[in-house]
Amino acid sequence: MLRITNINYMAPRYRPGRTIVPGTKDRFTNNLPDLSQLLCVPISTHELDEITSNMGTIFSNTLEAVAPIKLKKVREKRTAPWYNSNTHSLKKKTRSLERKWRKTNLEVFRIAWKNSMSSYRQALKAARAEHIHKLIENNQNNPRFLFSTVARLTNNQTPPDLNIPAQFNSNDFMNFFTDKIDNIRNTIANVDSTAYNTLASFIAPKDKLQCFTAIGQEELNKLITASKPTTCLLDPVPTKLLKELLPVAEEPLLNIINSSLSLGHVPKPFKLAVIKPLIKKPQLDPSELANYRPISNLPFMSKILEKVVSAQLCSFLQKNYLYEEFQSGFRPHHSTETALVKITNDLLLASDQGCVSLLVLLDLSAAFDTIDHDILIDRLQNYTGIQGQALRWFRSYLSDRYHLVHLNGESSQLSPVKYGVPQGSVLGPLLFSIYMLPLGNIIRKYGISFHCYADDTQLYISTRPDETSKLSKLTECVKNVKEWMTNNFLLLNSDKTEILLIGPKDSTPNLVDYNLQLDGCTVTSSTVKNLGVILDSNLSFENHISHVTKTAFFHLRNIAKLRNMIPVSDAEKLVHAFMTSRLDYCNALLGGCPASSINKLQVVQNAAARVLTRSRKYDHITPILQSLHWLTIKFRLSYKILLLAYKALNGLAPAYLTSLLPCYNPSR
């Protein structure tokens, strides 16, 4: 009886892609036309735009000639990435011997099959170890990639699929991001256009930055070589290939950068950005547009130009002491740890004196995206003394910018950038810090202590339990800060603003009711998360240590599953990437914690050492740690504190930490 069944064959899927091999560089160089037209020095902004556009066209056409885009068939059934030609031939040989043995039932074929099977398994294990070794070696500084790789290899429960649902297209995201910023700007009413000039400081002529300095080939080579090989959709050639082509491409690139600095003009091709929607947290619903944030992906050479300007601007600000002293974001020798050391030191000193403290954590909504360009230019001119050609460059940088959303091979319509600085740019964080410069003067008027890290602003004040009237200044300060932010098109998110009451247990109950008097702020009396560290009302850090311990053991269990596949060196890199980094993060804050709390972290380190060295549970841990050259947690804390003290005494730490360690000068 003939049985007929319907078989549905799925049509093969194809994706576009280029095949770039080691020989692509030589073919590209041989096919590259004469670049003399790109070496002429432009005398107008129009000529600079034309040269930049021509360079992109020449490079993209040459790349299309030597490595054209082709449709590649997508394999529906994916093999293991470490499965290579050698393991494939061994598997084929093993199957052949198995069939011969089952057909003839001869002992000689059975023995040959067993030996071949053993060789195949050993080769497969070696290939898998080599593949994992290369992944770890090439991405040892990329914890996000390592986390996803380890989760995939251990078949662990990974976060839900974060692919953007098919119901959304690029125009949906573009319209949502644009409307969101417009709505925030519209909610800010009664804007006083003169408010941002009231605290402008006088800049002496010697402190003015009139123009930027041209760079040489050596400096350009260092910048391009040290940059990450990230590629934007708008790049004419992939960044990795551009680095290999640097000997033939550096002269036109240097000409464009120096011409941009001298003319005070940013080429138009450098002012277009591709927005990548990125979900804010893995556990959020990907079907809600509000759960995505826009990340701008700029052309590679645009970032190089920004790095040149950023280096000279930072040098000027540092030389003339124009930085906000208590702004730790994106500054040399500053970090979240130095900021938290300063804050916790002040709060602990106040607590030792029997005072209670209120810590207010302010939260801004889309701070980088609502910056007003006219106000930012005013800050650059009146607060930092940038004038002339340099100021003209920043005007060009902020004007006539466009962005688009590219999703699933389709691009949205171009949308003008009317406000804000691009997230993902080099200059964005620095310009935001300059934009926020007047805020420090407002807070100082009330005698309130504060600290900033980019858009995270923290206010804190200490007082005796019987002098609570002093805390009314904090209420007035928060109100004035809100007004200033409104005048500067920044929206303070009161729903996410948190308050923590810190002080002795016998004094804090008298101030619980006062927390409710801070206008619009959500009261948090137990714990708050500040720059990645969980703070409690007693500054005991017990909740923070418990959180670190739980997270570290989660990653250690995943590493233990891979331990048999990888050598000690690779396993140690995973331990340092996932665990040691967490144990060491802001560990200078734990210097005064009791031994019972520190021992919880020591248990984590001991477990990691046993997994790494494959030691038994009851083996003495001290020789194991010594063989790995690992300091125990107690001494790691002491080392970090001594390191901060050394930096503070040798000009390698922020001024607010250096002031805490006055040098002793003997009288004789």
The per-residue DSSP string of 180-197 comes to: HHHHHHHH--S--TTGGG
Q: Phi then psi for 501, rounded to 5 degrees?
A: -95, 125
Report yes or no: 297 and 201 within 8 Å, Cβ to Cβ.
no
Per DSSP, 245 falls in state T
Strand partners, 530: 533
CA distance linking residue 578 with residue 562, whole number of Å? 14
Farthest-apart Cα atoms in the chain, separation: 113
CA distance linking residue 438 with residue 627, whole number of Å? 53
Q: Phi then psi for 38, rounded to 5 degrees?
A: -90, -5
Strand partners, 306: none
CA distance linking residue 264 with residue 274, whole number of Å? 24
CA distance linking residue 509 with residue 450, whole number of Å? 24
Report yes or no: 215 and 258 within 8 Å, Cβ to Cβ.
yes
The dihedral sign for the CA sequence 134, 139, 140, 146: negative
Strands 402-407 and 527-530: unpaired
464 CB-near residues (< 8 Å, 6+ apart): 354, 355, 356
> In this predicted structure, what is the pLDDT of residue 74?
65
> In this predicted structure, what is the pLDDT of residue 2?
40
Identity of the residue numbered 580: T
> In this predicted structure, what is the pLDDT of residue 431?
93
CA distance linking residue 662 with residue 614, whole number of Å? 48
> In this predicted structure, what is the pLDDT of residue 82?
78
Compute how many other C-beta atoms are within 10 angstroms of the C-beta atom of residue 183. 11
Compute how many other C-beta atoms are within 10 angstroms of the C-beta atom of residue 145. 15
The dihedral sign for the CA sequence 95, 97, 99, 102: negative
CA distance linking residue 318 with residue 307, whole number of Å? 16
Strand partners, 500: 359
> In this predicted structure, what is the pLDDT of residue 184?
83
The SS3 of residue 12 is: coil
Name the packing angle between helices 633-649 and 595-613 (round to 10°): 110
Per DSSP, 425 falls in state -
CA distance linking residue 414 with residue 174, whole number of Å? 9
Q: Which residues of the chain have pLDDT under 50?
A: 1-9, 157-162, 190-205, 515-517
Length of the chain equals 668
> In this predicted structure, what is the pLDDT of residue 8?
46
Strand partners, 449: 460
534 burial type by CB count under 10 A (0-12 exposed, 13-18 middle, 19+ buried): middle
133 CB-near residues (< 8 Å, 6+ apart): 566, 567, 570
For 256-318, give the DSSP string: HHHHHHHHT---GGGGEEEEEEEESSTTS-TT-GGGEEEEEE--HHHHHHHHHHHHHHHHHHH
